[in-house]
Amino acid sequence: MGYRINCGEWLNVAGFDIATHFLKEVINMKKLERKQCWEYCLNLYRDYGYDPYLIYAVVETESNRIIDIQSHSGAYGLMQITEIALREVNQKYKTNYTLEDLKVPEKNIEIGAKYLYRWIDYFEIEYSNFVAVFLAILVYNWGYGNVQHWLDNGGEDNQKITELLPFEKLQYNEDVIWWYVWAKKYFGGEYV
C-alpha cells in the first residue's frame, strides 16, 4: 500500500496504514464547539449577508471544526485557507489579513467565507445563484483554473462533462450540501 516512512508504530484502519503518532496528533487537536462555530457563521450573515448554513457546511467539510489543522498543501485552519486565497481576499476586499489571522477561528472563517463569496459573486454575473454557488464550491476545493478548464472543455456532451470532473470534487460538493441540510435541521430554519 504505497510507501512507509519509518516513524514508529503503524496501525491498519479500514485498509489504510496510519502512523500511530499521527493518530495521537489528530486526537489531541482542538475542535471548535458547534454552537460557537454557528455563532461565527451568524456574525458573517449579520455583517455581510453571507448564508450561515453554507459557511458552516464548508467548515465541517474542510476541517470537521478542527481549529489548527493543516493540509499537506499548506491550507490552514477551519476553512483550510491557502496563502494564495489569503492574498486574493486581501486584494479583492482591501483587507490586511495575515498568516497569523488564519490561526484565529473567527478570522479564519471570515477569510474563507469572503473567498467563497468572491467566487459566488464572480459566477453570478453569468449564471443563476444555484449554479454560481455550485461552481464557487468547486473553485474553493479545486481551484479556479481547474474549474475554468472544466467549463471550457466540457462542450455540450454531458458524458464529457462528467468525465472531466473528478469524482472526489463532485463528492466534496455533495458533502457541503449534506452539511448544509444538516445545519438547517440542527440550528433551525431562521437565523436572524
Please report the pLDDT score of residue 161 as a whole number: 67
77-82 contacts: CB < 8 A, separation 24 or more?
A: 77/102, 77/103, 77/105, 77/108, 77/112, 78/32, 78/37, 78/105, 78/108, 78/109, 78/112, 79/108, 79/109, 79/111, 79/112, 79/113, 79/115, 80/112, 81/108, 81/111, 81/112, 81/115
Q: Are residues 95 and 174 in the same domain?
A: yes
Q: Taking residues 33-37, what's their average pLDDT?
A: 97
Q: In the prediction, which pLDDT does 8 show?
A: 44
69 and 158 assigned to the same domain: yes
% of the chain with per-residue pLDDT over 70:
81
Shared domain for 24 and 108, answered yes or no, is no
Q: Do 134 and 58 share a structural domain?
A: yes
Predicted pLDDT at 160: 67
* pLDDT tops 50 at residue 32: yes
- Percent of residues, the chain, with pLDDT higher than 90: 70
165 and 181 in a single domain? The answer is yes
Question: Tens digits of per-residue pLDDT, 137-148?
Answer: 999 999 999 999
Q: Are residues 64 and 5 in the same domain?
A: no
**Can you give the pLDDT at residue 23?**
45
Tell me the CATH number at 91: 1.10.530.10
Rg of the chain, C-alpha, whole Å: 18
Structural domain contains residue 124: yes
Please give the pLDDT value at position 156: 74
- Asked whether residue 141 falls in the same domain as residue 175, the answer is yes
**Residue 102 counted as domain residue:** yes
Range of the domain at 6: 1-30
Q: What is the pLDDT of residues 68-127, one digit of tens each?
A: 999 998 999 999 999 999 999 999 999 999 999 999 999 999 999 999 999 999 999 999
Answer whether residue 192 is part of any domain. Answer: no
Residues 159 and 111 both lie in one domain: yes
| Cα gap 148→166, rounded to integer Å | 14
Q: Is residue 150 part of a domain?
A: yes
Contact call for residues 49 and 36 (beta carbons, < 8 A): no
CB-based contact 109:44 (threshold 8 Å) = yes
In a domain, 37, yes or no: yes
Total domains in the chain come to 2
